[in-house]
């Protein structure tokens, strides 16, 4: 495979991944999801698994008819999750504490 074909394949794969991440981050929350949300875990997931910037404003907008989101819980979870994401990405901690 020549370098142009390889770059084209990387670009297509990157575009597909970005579309999947965008779709995951833009899904709306139902009334049931808003009422039963564990805001800490939701924040942790957004920061750790997705590496997203905080989505609390989006959640607050989606849930406003039913509940007031627990912003402090979400941000505490997001901060811890994002820290884990960055540690893994930088490779500064391979295998956890021993």
Backbone angles phi, psi at 95, to 5 degrees: -130, 20
Q: CA angle 13-21-74, nearest 5°?
A: 155
Q: Write down the residue that tokens 């989606």 correspond to.
A: 62
At residue 30 the predicted structure's pLDDT band, cuts being 50, 70 and 90, is very high
* pLDDT for the residue numbered 56: 96
* pLDDT for the residue numbered 51: 87
């Amino acid at each position: 495979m020549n370098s142009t074909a390889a770059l084209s394949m990387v670009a297509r794969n990157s575009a597909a991944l970005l579309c999947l991440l965008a779709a995951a981050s833009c899904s709306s929350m139902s009334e049931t999801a808003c009422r039963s949300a564990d805001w800490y875990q939701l924040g942790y997931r957004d920061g750790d698994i997705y590496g997203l910037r905080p989505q609390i404003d989006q959640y607050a907008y989606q849930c406003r008819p039913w509940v007031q989101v627990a912003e402090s819980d979400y941000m505490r979870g997001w901060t811890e999750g994002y820290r884990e994401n960055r540690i893994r990405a930088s490779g500064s901690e391979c295998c956890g504490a021993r």
